């Protein structure tokens, strides 16, 4: 049996989110050979978060059982802190699920691709409760209140993909912050907001295709010091943006 080939889409939720955060970072990462060649080793926090996501994927798989999850956890070389991190996040998730009356997801780790928009994304979980679909994104990192608009935009991108590609009209969207469960939120899908975020998404995607350097300004923030392109960005001029 041949392996499934995953097409590299021009647009994805993560790429659009990077562009919204800092257009210049998006450009360096996705429109230059330098950006494509840089491979960073994931931090311990990212590695631990990946483990939590994998275990949640197994939990949502109706063919998996607790023994499979235990085997997976045992096979991963985690530090004591990493084990505690994973156990805490998983325990918090079950508390969140109990709060909202949810069990296993109807769909999990769902890759969704839109040929017309050349857009793709991975939806962590789609729950079905009382005949209504909930689109949920799992977050193992911190909650940043100033990013609330970005969180909601991300979720509406998933709503758009689910509606266009899966024929699923979600009634609710939310983010489960498994490290900080009190920051978890679930809100109703609003059609006016859907239309607004759809238009914003299309506008961002059009700008992302531009060859005009002015479309990729630097967005200065405290995150700049963590950017892998910080040195390149300091010496940047708009006229270097050429395909």
- Identify the CATH number of the domain in which residue 160 sits: 3.90.320.10
In a domain, 182, yes or no: yes
What pTM did the predictor assign? 0.84
**How many domains, the chain?**
1
Confidence of residue 133 (pLDDT cuts 50, 70, 90): very high
30 found inside a domain:
no
- Under the banding of pLDDT at 50, 70 and 90, the label for residue 79 is low
**pLDDT beyond 50 at 4:** no
In a domain, 20, yes or no: no
Determine the pLDDT at residue 3: 44
CA 187 to chain centroid, in Å, comes to: 18
Top-confidence residue, 211 or 9: 211
Neighbours of 241 (CB within 10 A): 19
Both tokens of 240, joined, read 């270097």
10 domain residue, yes or no: no
Confidence of residue 62 (pLDDT cuts 50, 70, 90): confident
Distance of CA 63 to the CA centre of its chain: 25
- Asked if 32 and 24 count as a contact pair (C-beta separation under 8 A), the reply is no
| pLDDT top residue among 220 and 184 | 184
Q: Which of 62-71, 119-128, 132-141 has the lowest mean pLDDT?
A: 62-71
Going from the C-alpha of 114 to that of each of 10, 41, 74, 152, 200, the distances in angstroms are: 11, 30, 37, 20, 17
Establish if 2 belongs to a structural domain. Answer: no
pLDDT at site 148: 94
Residue 96 falls inside a structural domain: yes
Q: What is the mean pLDDT of the segment spanning 226-242?
A: 68
Evaluate whether residue 220 is within a structural domain. Answer: no
> What are the E-state strand segments in 178-224?
185-188
Question: pLDDT at residue 75 above 70?
Answer: no
Domain range holding 135? 41-209
Rounded to whole angstroms, how far apart are CA atoms 156 and 90? 25
Of 144-148, 187-191, 204-208, 220-224, which range is least confident? 220-224
Tell me what the mean pLDDT of segment 104-132 comes to.
Answer: 93
pLDDT band at 41 (very low <50, low <70, confident <90, very high): low
Is the pLDDT at 48 greater than 80, yes or no? no
pLDDT at residue 38, as a whole number: 64
Confidence of residue 77 (pLDDT cuts 50, 70, 90): low
With 60 as the cut, is the pLDDT of residue 68 above it? no
Does a structural domain hold residue 221? no
- The residues facing 127 across adjacent strands are 134
Residue 98 has pLDDT above 90, yes or no: yes
């Amino acid at each position: 049996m041949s392996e499934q080939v995953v097409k590299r889409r021009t647009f994805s939720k993560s790429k659009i989110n990077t562009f919204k955060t800092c257009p210049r970072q998006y450009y360096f990462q996705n429109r230059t050979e330098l950006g494509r060649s840089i491979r960073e080793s994931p931090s311990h926090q990212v590695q631990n978060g990946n483990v939590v996501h994998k275990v949640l994927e197994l939990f949502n798989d109706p063919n998996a059982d607790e023994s499979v999850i235990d085997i997976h956890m045992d096979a991963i070389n985690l530090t004591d802190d990493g084990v505690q991190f994973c156990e805490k996040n998983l325990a918090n998730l079950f508390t969140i699920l109990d709060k909202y009356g949810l069990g296993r997801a109807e769909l999990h780790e769902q890759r969704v691709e839109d040929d017309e928009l050349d857009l793709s994304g991975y939806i962590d979980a789609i729950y079905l409760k009382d005949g209504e679909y909930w689109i949920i994104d799992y977050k193992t990192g911190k909650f940043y209140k100033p990013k609330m608009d970005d969180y909601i935009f991300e979720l509406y991108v998933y709503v758009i993909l689910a509606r266009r590609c899966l024929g699923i009209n979600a009634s609710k969207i939310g983010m489960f912050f498994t490290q900080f469960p009190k920051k978890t939120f679930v809100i109703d899908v609003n059609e006016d907001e859907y239309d607004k975020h759809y238009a914003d998404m299309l506008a961002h995607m059009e700008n992302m295709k531009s060859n005009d350097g002015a479309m990729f300004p630097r967005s200065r923030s405290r995150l700049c010091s963590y950017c892998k392109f910080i040195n390149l960005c300091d010496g940047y001029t708009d006229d270097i943006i050429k395909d």
